[in-house]
Structure 1
Amino acid sequence: MKARNFILPFAMLFFALFFGCKKDTFIEVSGVCPEVILTSPVDGATSVVLNKIITATFNEVMNAATITQASFIVMQGTALKETATTPVLGIVTYTGTTASFTPSSPLTPNTNYYGTIITTVKDLNGNALQEDYEWAFSTSTIPAVTSVIPLNLATNVLLNQAISFIFSEPMDAATITAASTFTLKQGTNLIAGSVLYSGTTGTFTPSSNLLPNTLYTATISTAAKNLAGNAIPSNYVWTFTTSTIPTVISNDPVDLATNVALNKVISATFSEAMNAATITAASTFTLKQGANLIA
Structure 2
Amino acid sequence: MSSRKFSFFRTTAPMPFLALAFALLAASGCSNGRAAAPEEETVVGYHSPISMGEVVSGETEPHSFEPDYGEFQAPTGKWITGGGIGVSISAGFKRPGEPAEAWVQAVEPGKTSELADRAVRYKLTERDRNDAYVRTVEESLKNLDSWNGYTGFRVKLPEKAGVRYYFSVEILHGSTVEDTAASVVEVPVQEVAADLALDRAVYPADAEIVVRLVNRGRTTLFYGLDYRLERDGEDGWTGVPARENTGVPAIGIQLSSGLTWEQSIRIANLAPGIYRVSKTVEGMGTPIERTLNAEFRVE
Same fold (TM over 0.5): no
Which structure: greater helix fraction?
A: 1
Larger radius of gyration: 1
TM-score normalised by structure 2 residue count: 0.37
Q: TM-score, normalised by structure 1?
A: 0.37
Q: Larger relative CO (CA 8 A, sep 6+): 1 or 2?
A: 2
